C-alpha cells in the first residue's frame, strides 16, 4: 500500500498514473474492513482517494488555475505549507511557527487569510482542528522549492496575465504584436513594464533594425557601378544591415548608404524592418518552467480522479458502503 501511495505522489505521466490509480481501486476491492470507521481512520488508500475526489471538485472550477496561482503568490501561505508538510499543526501551533519568522498574526487572520485559501484549492486539509498538506499539496510544495522567489516575482490577486505571457514566451521570443494577441491590449504595456522591472523579460536594445535584401529583378537589365556591383553581390539571401555591408565591402558607411539608395531606385534592393522582440531572462525561464510544471501537475492529478471514477464499481453494496463512510 505504501509503495502505491509513494508512486502516485511522484509520477508525472498520465499513463503511469492511470495504472497506479487502478491499483488503488484493486486494493479497495480486495479489502474487507470490519467497519466503515476502520476504512476512514486507518486506510491510506481511502485517504488518497478521498483527496482526489475533493481535488476534482475544486478543479471543476474553470478559474482553478488562476485561483491556485494567486493562492501561491503569498509568502506566509508558502511558509505554512512548508510547515505542515512535516506534520499536522493546529492554528495555535501555526501561530507560534509564524512568530519564529517574525510574522505576528492573530489566529483569526491565520485561519481566514492563509488557511482557508489553501483548503479551497485542496493544497491542505483539516481533521479534528489540525491541518496537514494533501498529497497534491506535497507534490506542489516540492516543485516550488526549485524557485524560492515565486511569491515575490508576480502580483497577487491578478488575472494571471503575467503568468500567461511568461508561459508563452517559454516557447520563444515574441514581438509586441504577438503579445497583444496573448494578453489584453489595454494592459499589455503595463504587464511588460512589470515583468521587465522584475527582471523576468528583456527586449532587443535600441530601435528596430533595417535589413537590406535583393529583389527578384534581374541585375543584368541595369548598368551598375563598381561599388553598386560589389555591394549587390555582398547582400545575402537572409538580408544584411548597412553597417555589416560597409564592414565586409570596406566601403565607408556614408558611401554604402548612398550606393544602397541607388540600388533601391533601380528596384534591385528593398528593405525590411526587423521588429523588436521580447524574450525571457534566465530568471524568467526558471519561473516560466515552474508555471508550466504547475499547470501540468494540475492536469495530471485531474486526470487521476477521472481514471478513479471510471474504475470504481457501480454495485449497490459499494454505494451503501461509500455513503456509510461519508457519514
- Whether 142 shows a pLDDT value over 80: the answer reads yes
- How far is residue 35 CA from its own chain's centroid? 44
- Whether 295 shows a pLDDT value over 50: the answer reads yes
Cα distances (angstroms) measured from residue 156 to each of 26, 101, 165, 235, 290: 42, 21, 16, 50, 17
pLDDT in tens, 175-222: 888 999 999 888 999 999 999 999 999 987 655 578 899 999 999 989
Please name the residue that has the C-alpha cell 504587464: 191
**What is the structure's pLDDT at 291?**
94
274 neighbors 207 (Cβ within 8 angstroms): no
Cα distances (angstroms) measured from residue 134 to each of 52, 64, 87, 301: 10, 17, 11, 12
151 neighbors 72 (Cβ within 8 angstroms): yes
What nine digits make up the cell of 1? 500500500
Please name the residue that has the C-alpha cell 541595369: 222
d(CA 73, CA 152): 7
Domain boundaries of the chain, sorted by first residue: 2-154+290-326, 209-274
pLDDT in tens, 235-288: 998 888 899 999 999 999 999 999 999 999 999 999 987 777 899 999 999 999
How large is the C-alpha radius of gyration of the chain?
30
pLDDT in tens, 17-75: 455 555 665 666 666 555 555 555 556 666 777 777 788 888 888 999 999 999 999 99
253 neighbors 242 (Cβ within 8 angstroms): yes
**What is the structure's pLDDT at 176?**
86
Dihedral sign, CA of 117, 119, 122, 123?
positive
Please name the residue that has the C-alpha cell 489553501: 118
- How far is residue 245 CA from its own chain's centroid? 43
d(CA 107, CA 114): 10
167 neighbors 295 (Cβ within 8 angstroms): yes
3-state secondary structure of 126: strand
- Whether 322 shows a pLDDT value over 50: the answer reads no
**What is the structure's pLDDT at 307?**
47
Residue 201 backbone dihedrals phi, psi, to 5 degrees: -135, 160
CB-based contacts of 158: which residues, under 8 Å, 6+ apart? 70
Amino acid at each position: 500500500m505504501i509503495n502505491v501511495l509513494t508512486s502516485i505522489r511522484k509520477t508525472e505521466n498520465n499513463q503511469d498514473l492511470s495504472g497506479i490509480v487502478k491499483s488503488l481501486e484493486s486494493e479497495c476491492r480486495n479489502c474487507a474492513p470490519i467497519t466503515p470507521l476502520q476504512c476512514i481512520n486507518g486506510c491510506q488508500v481511502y485517504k488518497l482517494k478521498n483527496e482526489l475526489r475533493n481535488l476534482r471538485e475544486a478543479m471543476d472550477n474553470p478559474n482553478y488555475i488562476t485561483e491556485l496561482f494567486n493562492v501561491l503568490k503569498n509568502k506566509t501561505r508558502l511558509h505554512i505549507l512548508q510547515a505542515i508538510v512535516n506534520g499536522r499543526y493546529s492554528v495555535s501551533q501555526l501561530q507560534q511557527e509564524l512568530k519564529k519568522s517574525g510574522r505576528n498574526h492573530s489566529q483569526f487572520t491565520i485561519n481566514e487569510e492563509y488557511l482557508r485559501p489553501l483548503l479551497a484549492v485542496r493544497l491542505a486539509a483539516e481533521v479534528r482542528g489540525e491541518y496537514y498538506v494533501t498529497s497534491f499539496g506535497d507534490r506542489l510544495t516540492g516543485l516550488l522549492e526549485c524557485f524560492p522567489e515565486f511569491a515575490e516575482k508576480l502580483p497577487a490577486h491578478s488575472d494571471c496575465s503575467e503568468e500567461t505571457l511568461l508561459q508563452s514566451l517559454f516557447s520563444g521570443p515574441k514581438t509586441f504584436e504577438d503579445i497583444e494577441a496573448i494578453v489584453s491590449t489595454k494592459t499589455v504595456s503595463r504587464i511588460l513594464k512589470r515583468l521587465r522591472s522584475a527582471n523576468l523579460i528583456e527586449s532587443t536594445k535600441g530601435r528596430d533594425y533595417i535589413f537590406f535584401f535583393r529583389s527578384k529583378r534581374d541585375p543584368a537589365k541595369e548598368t551598375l557601378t563598381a561599388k553598386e556591383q560589389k555591394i549587390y553581390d555582398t547582400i545575402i539571401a537572409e538580408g544584411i544591415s548597412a553597417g555589416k555591408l560597409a564592414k565586409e565591402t570596406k566601403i565607408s558607411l556614408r558611401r554604402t548608404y548612398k550606393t544602397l539608395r541607388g540600388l533601391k531606385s533601380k528596384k534591385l534592393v528593398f528593405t525590411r524592418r526587423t521588429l523588436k522582440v521580447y524574450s525571457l531572462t534566465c530568471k524568467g525561464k526558471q519561473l516560466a518552467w515552474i508555471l508550466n510544471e504547475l499547470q501540468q501537475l494540475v492536469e495530471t492529478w485531474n486526470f487521476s480522479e477521472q481514471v478513479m471514477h471510471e474504475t470504481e464499481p457501480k454495485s449497490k453494496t459499494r454505494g451503501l458502503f461509500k455513503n456509510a463512510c461519508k457519514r
